[in-house]
Chains A and B, each alone.
Chain A
Amino acid sequence: MSVLNSNIPKGPLAEKWQNHKNSIRLVNPANKRNLDVIVVGTGLAGASAAASLGEMGYNVKAFCFQDSPRRAHSIAAQGGINAAKNYRNDGDSVYRLFYDTIKGGDYRSREANVHRLAEVSVNIIDQCVAQGVPFAREYGGLLDNRSFGGVQVSRTFYAKGQTGQQLLLGAYSALSRQVAAGQVKLYSRHEMMNLVMVDGKARGIIARNLVTGEIERHSAHAVLLCTGGYGNVFYLSTNAMGSNVTATWKAHKKGAFFGNPCFTQIHPTCIPVSGDYQSKLTLMSESLRNDGRIWVPKAKDDKRKPVDIPEEERDYYLERRYPAFGNLVPRDVASRAAKERCDAGYGVGQSKMAVYLDYASAIERYGKAEANKQRLPNADKATILKLGKQVVAAKYGNLFEMYEKITGDNPYETPMRIYPAVHYTMGGLWVDYNLMSNLDGLFVLGEANFSDHGANRLGASALMQGLADGYFVVPYTLGNYLADDIRTGPISTEAPEFEQAEKEVTDTMDRLMSIKGDKTVDYFHKALGKIMWDKCGMARNEQGLKEAISEIKALREAFWKEVRVPGDKNEFNPELEKACRVADFLELGELMCYDALNRNESCGGHFREEYQTEEGEALRDDENYTYVAAWEYKESGEPVLHKETLEFENVKPTTRSYK
């Protein structure tokens, strides 16, 4: 038998979660008082879990590296959150949300988990509204919805372009209430540096107080990692600057398996890189593709201004290649098509690594409609454009403003330049149905786990998963696990395992501080990012991946010889923080390449150039790769692959076609 047991409950798909809830063990309130839980990360998953567990009576310790839990990167999510409420009466249902998510994930996720996600999606909206989250509403006072990411129903709830902010502030308020009640103790500006395993169970963490540099031991009966994704392995991504893999990577090195690390999502509509000083990339909401048309010039190296290029000399390549879906193809398809044009030499802008997103025809179309509405049959062109701009401003004004702030260009007058950028990582630590990793007592929630999005995540699903895991899944499944621990008593931090884990941390830091080389941490991070982007990015091939593996090894060696970390370890030292994180990215990058090399197929965000159809579309290999690749860390030598076979009992995998 495989070492991986997904612990999916028996019974029909739609009844699994309810049956499971009915049969799992509970911890009574008096005993919860004697149980400690560590939650690392305070984004949607972490804040919602910490708050809910505090309400239930557990003693919770919550950690975040930011100066306040309210700043976790969930805050930056723009578009919205899906829920199968069917408030539109447009035929939505739990099953449809489940089906869309499975299909969107290109049949590489677990049916049972995804169905549960769809089930609890409706409770999330109720919870958030009760907390005072100001979702968009209609004039009648009821909640508004919009459609998103190419699905056929309107199931996305939103708060203008800052849904993530409002949901996170809701979870943060619930968390704050538990802090006030004494149920949650908050450790801001703390970074988890190691996991502590005692007798085969996760029993604590080693954390660094980022203000004083002090190394602290924290014990608990269970540890929850809610630390987000690892997109910053690419250096440039839409992630916040501090987003990192350290917590999950340290757990991986202690034995937790890493699931599908090569599944990364490249988002098609981001503001392109402007120079080598660039520190991060900014996403422009996907909703812009609803009305914008994407094109490049038909001639290579066309130096004309975009507005001077006549219609017939433009290549609207998405409309050309995918007449049925046009500019609305899924994220992975749109991203690859942009890369294809730029690689072929048709890119625009200074770097030639950008395509145009054009609103001129939308402005004209809306302007005409508006002129009709206002009964101005003879409106001249200027009036039509003026009216059109007003309509576009009402819909997308904040995005256009953001674009102008960053680029200095006015998108009402000239097309925006966009290019794909790393946005989300579907891979993460492997977890079972209970969200527990293969290490007892180590739970992983939200983007940090691998579980629900398969090889490609649909828009407006990340917020849903983070909150589902934290509010509605782990509060049940954790109790089932902790039922065995009610008589354990407090875990001592004097155990030799704590001593050892702490020593590992101080040794690493001492080593980093003592190198005193001549290159900055960013130098290595950028070099790693370039290898990853070129060889393990939007398109991968065997040769490139093999090269990447040896290049990363060499880079890692150079890092440990030549990096310079200024300052002292016993003080506030952002460069040391970065150095510790980059050291882990330098190991993770290699694993991602192994995973991409192993998967001899193309699916979702993973595109292997050897496996494509004649028209350049992804070619899945269901016979050989319908599994989760769960990797085991080895101190020396290559990582070891374990497979969890995915069973599709309710949905039959088919080829995704958007032609």
Chain B
Amino acid sequence: MSQNTMNLKLKIWRQKGASTPGKMVDYTLNGVNPEMSFLEMMDVLNQQLIEAGEEPVAFDHDCREGICGMCSMFINGRAHGPMTGTTTCQLHMRHFKDGDTITIEPWRSAAFPVIKDLSVDRSSFDRIIQAGGYVSVNTGAAPDANAIPIPKEDADSAFDAATCIGCGACVATCKNASAMLFVSAKVSQLALLPQGAPERQERALRMVEQMDKEGFGNCTNTGACEVECPKGISIENIARMNREFLRASLVKKKKKAGMAAS
């Protein structure tokens, strides 16, 4: 366990509100313990700012154990910082060096407007889920849980897709600000399970439509999202969603054509 503390230079995005312009502001923070988490380092900075009569830096966080998806910082040009498979709250200062300069910015995307400083509005993700990210079953209407056996492999793949924490790092990282990784994770989870099958076509169409409406960009398969996703959501999901979407579009066209003919 290292006892040496570090002195850091921080460049942090400060923005009063959604409609005011922001700028990078420099801070010096001394005596940072390498055992601290990144957000604890931010806490220390904020305590010092408050005591000095200044405004603390606003940022989102809640669970601080990498599962709620609330924390969201763009650190030295990378979503959630330099470590792979790690959310900002799980990043520790031992991965930085004494004398380092660290730049800290919010997620940047038209669909994630800044609320204040490092806090952004990700409610567009909620609206995408509302567009179809569910199985239409009312409480009390479920058959016995073991009535439909599901091959372990499918269940495991569905689980892997379902571990998305909705943080938005994929969007922040993508040069097109595409939300494909997030959307495809939910579409895949439900497409892989028999419970999700009856609605799979409608679901893919509606979620993609909502995604476009929210102003997320197109996917050009750069794969950057997969690299930065703290939960290791695979871009295979995007391929699966594209298939779902294509099939659904075809079926829809056929139906329309059929209707016109009759």
Contact = CB atoms under 8 A, between A and B. Distances in A.
Contact of A277 (B44, B136, B189, B196): B44
A566 B56 contact: yes
A75 B129 contact: no
Contact of B56 (A180, A280, A575): A575
A72 to B, nearest CB: 8
A480 interface: no
A582 to B, nearest CB: 14
Interface in A151-175: 159-160, 162, 165-166, 169, 172-174
A242 B166 contact: no
B162 A408 contact: no
Contacts of A71: 62-63, 68-70, 166
A444 interface: no
B167 to A, nearest CB: 10
Contacts of A160: 159
Nearest to A521: B50
A68 B166 contact: yes
Interface string A128-156: 11111011111111110000000000000
Contacts of B144: 126
B122 interface: yes
B159 A279 contact: no
Contacts of A173: 129, 133-135
A173 B185 CA distance: 14
A69 B126 contact: yes
Given A130-B195, A278-B40, A125 B145 contact: yes
A188 B123 contact: yes
Interface centre among B60, B116, B121, B155 (most CB of A within 10 A): B155
A176 B64 contact: no
A567 interface: yes
A68 B92 contact: no
Contact of A176 (B33, B68, B129): B129
Interface in A164-202: 165-166, 169, 172-174, 176-177, 179-180, 186, 188
Nearest to B137: A130
Nearest to A516: B53
Given A71-B68, A71-B70, A567-B55, A279 B43 contact: yes
A51 B137 CA distance: 11
Contacts of A169: 162
Nearest to B192: A134
A564 interface: yes
B94 to A, nearest CB: 6
A566 B55 contact: yes
Interface residues of A, number: 81
B248 interface: no
B214 interface: no
Given A130-B142, A134-B159, A241 B62 contact: yes
Given A131-B134, A520-B47, A405 B90 contact: yes
Interface stretch (B74-82, B98-106, B146-154, B233-241): B146-154
A511 B47 CA distance: 21
A406 interface: yes
Contact of A405 (B40, B64, B86, B129): B86
Given A55-B139, A134-B158, A405-B90, A279 B64 contact: yes
Contacts, number: 219
A31 interface: no
Given A134-B189, A471-B139, A574-B58, A75 B145 contact: no
A123 interface: yes
B37 interface: yes
A471 B130 CA distance: 20
Contact of A165 (B40, B60, B67): B67
Interface in A269-284: 274-275, 277-280, 282-283
Nearest to A210: B115
A138 B55 contact: no
Interface string A271-312: 000110111101100000000000000000000000000000
A305 to B, nearest CB: 12
21 contacts: A68-B123, A68-B126, A68-B166, A71-B62, A75-B67, A76-B67, A129-B195, A130-B137, A131-B137, A138-B152, A177-B130, A177-B136, A188-B123, A211-B115, A279-B39, A282-B64, A282-B65, A350-B1, A408-B92, A471-B139, A572-B116
Given A69-B126, A241-B62, A405-B90, 4 more contacts: A132-B190, A165-B165, A471-B140, A566-B53
Interface of B: 1, 17, 33, 35-37, 39-40, 43-44, 47, 49-51, 53-56, 58, 60-70, 86, 90, 92, 94, 115-116, 119, 121-123, 125-126, 129-131, 133-146, 148-152, 155-156, 158-159, 162-163, 165-166, 189-190, 193, 195-196
Interface of A: 48, 51-52, 55, 66-71, 73, 75-76, 85, 87, 123, 125-132, 134-143, 159-160, 162, 165-166, 169, 172-174, 176-177, 179-180, 186, 188, 211, 240-242, 274-275, 277-280, 282-283, 350, 402, 405-408, 471-472, 475, 518, 520, 522, 564, 566-567, 571-575
